[in-house]
């Protein structure tokens, strides 16, 4: 204690040095942790920068120039799309009076109904293009612009369906949009188009569906988007041989029999060659020929006799003689064209053959030949009724039930695209 009093300066210096050492130790220990944290962060950032520099889109000068070029090309492509859809974008939807809209709806409904009637398509009851709510009441005037636009799109859609000639239009549904009830549309500010949905169900062959969709995509006034398609066959089970059933109605059988008759069913038609022959006339007896006497007729010279011809023989051949049988008279040769002499048997009276009747008069000329009948081509037999419709099912021509959900897009006015910032060096 006396040393501290005697050596105050040394004691103060030693105390100050000890206190400074303690403070320095505390500060160094505290900042060493901060340094370690900062060093670790630096090393992590350096590693991250090194990794970014190795990726393709690192923001280097070359990459920034390429990014600017890509943005400009994208902007040009967007402008081209806007131009391509300009024909589907209405210039301005102006509201009209409710009565004028009702008149437009009636005219469109009559035109569509006439088109369906022309192809014999059955329509649902109380059909009014999906605007049945306005048959007894008027629309709101502030919604007539959109309603008239949707009316035109629905009319064109149904005319395309009528051209495809389905057998039946079963249902047509047009949901209301908010403006019809005095509300505001809840669309997004970034939307490029607004959709108006239409749902319809029809029946027809596969051809009607194909032609209808082909006509829809070719529209130049409205942009249609088919969202949903559901196709159901008449029968959900595939056909087999046991399902086949062909029936022939009595009318079809009678028509087939008549078509098979080459004479068209004329049962009383008789071919001339089949007619019964006319009875031949009775033969007329020929009077016996009167020979004049040998001395001739008075005033005429006497008849002359022809001397018999000598027998002629062919040189080199023996004369032909008629042999005689003992006890029988010799045969008398016959002269062609004259009746043969009847031989007589000794002890028996001579018999004379009865005179042959005179030849029957010549038959009348042959019946004239029947006129030639032109061969009638045999008509094909009437087809049997396929009550099971198996042929349609096998050939794929059976009727289908088709449900379609189609959106009509109304493109909103074009918004200016933002400019692409120029790349800085």
Residue ranges per domain, the chain?
Answer: 2-84, 94-237+400-411
Residue 340 pLDDT > 70: no
User: What would the mean pLDDT of 43-62 be, rounded to a whole number?
Assistant: 82
User: What would the mean pLDDT of 239-243 be, rounded to a whole number?
Assistant: 67
Q: Residue 119: which pLDDT band, with cuts at 50, 70 and 90?
A: very high
Strand-pair category, 168-173 with 193-204:
antiparallel
- Tokens 């096998």 -> residue: 394
User: What would the mean pLDDT of 120-147 be, rounded to a whole number?
Assistant: 92
Say what the pLDDT of residue 305 is. Answer: 47
Say what the pLDDT of residue 388 is. Answer: 53
> Pick the residue with more confidence: 72 or 310?
72
User: What would the mean pLDDT of 122-135 be, rounded to a whole number?
Assistant: 92
Say what the pLDDT of residue 123 is. Answer: 94
Strand order in the sheet with 193-204: 168-173, 193-204, 400-411, 223-233
Say what the pLDDT of residue 385 is. Answer: 57
- Tokens 């949009």 -> residue: 177
Backbone φ and ψ of 387, nearest 5°:
-70, -20
Residue 76 pLDDT > 70: yes
Nearest-angstrom CA–CA distance, 345 and 331: 12
CA dihedral 341, 343, 348, 354 (to 10 degrees): -30
The least confident of 57-66, 131-140, 173-182 is 57-66
Nearest-angstrom CA–CA distance, 228 and 95: 31
The least confident of 61-65, 190-194, 245-249, 268-272 is 268-272
Give percent helix, percent strand, percent coil of the chain, each to the nearest 5: 40, 10, 50
Q: Residue 341: which pLDDT band, with cuts at 50, 70 and 90?
A: very low
DSSP sequence for 143-201: GHHHHHHHHHHHHHHHHHHHHH--SEEEEEE-PPPGGGGTPPP---TT-SEEEEEEEEE
User: What would the mean pLDDT of 232-247 be, rounded to a whole number?
Assistant: 70
> Pick the residue with more confidence: 254 or 171?
171
Residue 363 pLDDT > 60: no
Nearest-angstrom CA–CA distance, 26 and 24: 5
CA distances from 16 to 9, 19, 70 (A): 11, 5, 70
Residue 136 pLDDT > 90: no
Three-state SS for 6? helix
Residue 138 pLDDT > 70: yes
The least confident of 83-97, 335-349, 393-407 is 335-349
pLDDT > 90 fraction of the chain, expressed in percent and rounded: 28
- Average pLDDT value for the chain: 74
Nearest-angstrom CA–CA distance, 111 and 127: 12
Residue 412 pLDDT > 70: yes
Which fold is adopted by the domain 94-237+400-411? Alpha-Beta Plaits (3.30.70)
pTM of the model: 0.52
Give which of 121, 150, 123, 119 is closest to 134, Cα–Cα: 150
Residue 52 pLDDT > 60: yes
Say what the pLDDT of residue 306 is. Answer: 47
Tens digits of residue pLDDT in 271-309: 455 455 555 555 555 555 555 444 444 444 444 444 545
């Amino acid at each position: 204690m006396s040393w501290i009093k005697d050596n105050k300066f040394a004691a103060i210096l030693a105390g100050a040095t000890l206190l400074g050492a303690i403070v320095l130790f505390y500060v160094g220990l505290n900042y060493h942790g901060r340094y370690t944290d900062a060093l670790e962060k630096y090393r992590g950032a350096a590693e991250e920068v090194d990794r970014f520099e190795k990726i393709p889109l690192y923001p280097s000068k070359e990459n920034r120039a390429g990014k600017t070029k890509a943005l400009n090309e994208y902007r040009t492509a967007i402008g081209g799309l806007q131009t391509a859809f300009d024909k589907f974008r209405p210039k301005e939807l102006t509201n009209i009076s409710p009565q004028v809209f009702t008149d437009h709806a009636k005219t469109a409904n009559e035109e569509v109904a006439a088109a369906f009637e022309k192809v014999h398509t059955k329509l649902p009851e109380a059909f009014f293009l999906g605007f049945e709510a306005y048959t007894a009441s008027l629309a709101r005037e502030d919604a007539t612009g959109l309603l008239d636009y949707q009316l035109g799109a629905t009319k064109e859609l149904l005319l395309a369906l009528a051209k495809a000639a389905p057998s039946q239009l079963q249902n047509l549904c047009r949901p209301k949009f908010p403006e019809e009830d005095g509300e505001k549309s809840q669309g997004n500010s970034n939307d490029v188009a607004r959709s108006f949905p239409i749902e319809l169900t029809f029946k027809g062959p596969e051809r009607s569906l194909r032609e209808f969709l082909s006509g829809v995509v070719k529209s130049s006034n409205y942009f249609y988007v088919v969202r949903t398609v559901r196709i159901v066959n008449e029968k959900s089970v595939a056909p087999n041989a046991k399902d086949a059933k062909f029936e022939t109605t009595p009318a079809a059988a009678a028509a087939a029999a008549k078509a098979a008759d080459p004479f068209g069913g004329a049962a009383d038609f008789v071919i001339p060659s089949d007619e019964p022959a006319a009875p031949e006339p009775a033969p007329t007896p020929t009077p016996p020929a009167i020979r004049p006497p040998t001395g001739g007729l008075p005033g005429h010279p006497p008849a002359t006799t022809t001397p018999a011809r000598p027998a002629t023989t062919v040189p080199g051949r023996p004369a032909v003689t008629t042999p005689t049988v003992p006890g029988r008279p010799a045969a008398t040769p016959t002269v062609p064209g004259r009746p043969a002499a009847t031989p007589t048997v000794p002890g028996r009276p001579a018999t004379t053959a009865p005179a042959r009747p005179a030849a029957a008069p010549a038959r009348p000329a042959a019946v004239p030949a029947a006129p030639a009948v032109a061969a009638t081509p045999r008509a094909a037999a009437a087809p049997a009724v396929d009550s099971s419709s198996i042929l349609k099912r096998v050939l794929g021509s059976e009727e289908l039930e088709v449900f379609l959900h189609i959106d009509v897009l109304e493109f909103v006015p074009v918004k200016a695209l933002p400019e692409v910032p120029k790349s800085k060096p």
